[in-house]
């Protein structure tokens, strides 16, 4: 295990890209992201996104003890999206006393017309 000398350990994520594929306008889909703490100290983490209206996270913060993992559900809702390709970024951060470490996850999806 790593010792980060008082700084927060970086959150370890199961993937750095969440590709929701192709969805019809009006559909929604949920994928999972796993957050892991590989350090020897507790990790206070939080997650945020650069878009709020179509991308949501079921749990925005938590604490992981050394060696612990947690699953976060990431959901897209295409109801308010135009047809075409869309991108967003999820930012997972680990907080420390005076600093933080962040990891970004790219989110992509293509919205197609609804059925006639």
DSSP secondary structure string for all residues of 40-59: SS-EEEEEEES--SSEEES-
CATH annotation of 12-112: 2.60.40.10
CA 57 to chain CA centroid, Å, is 7
pLDDT given at position 28: 98
**What is the tens place of the pLDDT at every residue in 21-78?**
999 999 999 999 999 988 888 889 999 998 889 999 999 999 999 899 999 999 999 9
pLDDT given at position 76: 98
Edge-first strand order for the sheet with 69-77 is: 12-13, 28-36, 69-77, 55-57
């Amino acid at each position: 295990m790593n010792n980060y000398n008082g700084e927060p350990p970086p959150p370890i994520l199961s993937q750095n890209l969440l590709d929701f594929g192709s969805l019809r306008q009006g559909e929604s889909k949920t994928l999972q992201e796993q957050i892991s703490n590989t350090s020897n100290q507790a990790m206070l983490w939080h997650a945020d996104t650069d878009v709020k209206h179509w991308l949501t996270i079921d749990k925005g913060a938590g604490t992981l003890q050394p060696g612990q993992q947690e699953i976060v559900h990431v959901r897209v809702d295409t109801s308010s999206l135009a047809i075409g390709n869309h991108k967003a970024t999820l930012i997972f951060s680990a907080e420390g006393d005076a600093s933080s470490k962040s990891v970004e996850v790219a989110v992509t999806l293509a919205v197609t017309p609804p059925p006639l």
